[in-house]
Amino acid sequence: MNVAVRTMNQGAVLPRLSVSIEIFKKQFLIISLLMSILLSAFAIIYVQDMNRRLVGQLETLQSSYENSQMEWSQLLLEQSAWSSQARVEQIARNQLNMVMPAKSSVIVI
């Protein structure tokens, strides 16, 4: 009888062990999935925050670019005003006492 009891107990231990291993595998899988979900959630939060910051920086840079373009166009207008033919001629006459040569003194080569 002693041998029969031992055999029955040994047979009962193996199914219990396999059941506990299956439960452990399921728990491990559930914990792993929960950790993956949490990591994904934190990654999404981080990426969205970074996106907001970069969009703000982009808007600031675009505003700066538009201001620079406006200043550049104003400088081009000022340059064209300062270098106009009439202004150069006026400065040559008034400040440098230059005169237009007569047609007879101009020699064309």
Q: pLDDT tens digit string along 35-79?
A: 999 999 999 999 999 999 999 999 999 999 999 999 999 999 988
In a domain, 107, yes or no: no
Task: Indicate whether 104 belongs to any domain.
Answer: no
Asked which of 7-11, 24-28, 89-93 is least confident by mean pLDDT, the reply is 7-11
pLDDT tens digits, one per residue of 28-37: 999 999 999 9
Residue 53 lies in a domain: yes
Q: List, in order, residues 6 or more apart from 98 with CB less than 8 Å away.
A: 92
Give the pLDDT of residue 9.
55
Domain count of the fold of the chain: 1
Distance CA 104, CA 30 (A): 104
> Which pLDDT does position 1 carry in this prediction?
53
Q: Is residue 102 part of a domain?
A: no
Is 106 inside a domain boundary? no
d(CA 70, CA 68): 5
**46 inside domain:** yes
Q: Which domain holds residue 86?
A: 2-94
- In this prediction, residue 44 carries a pLDDT of 98
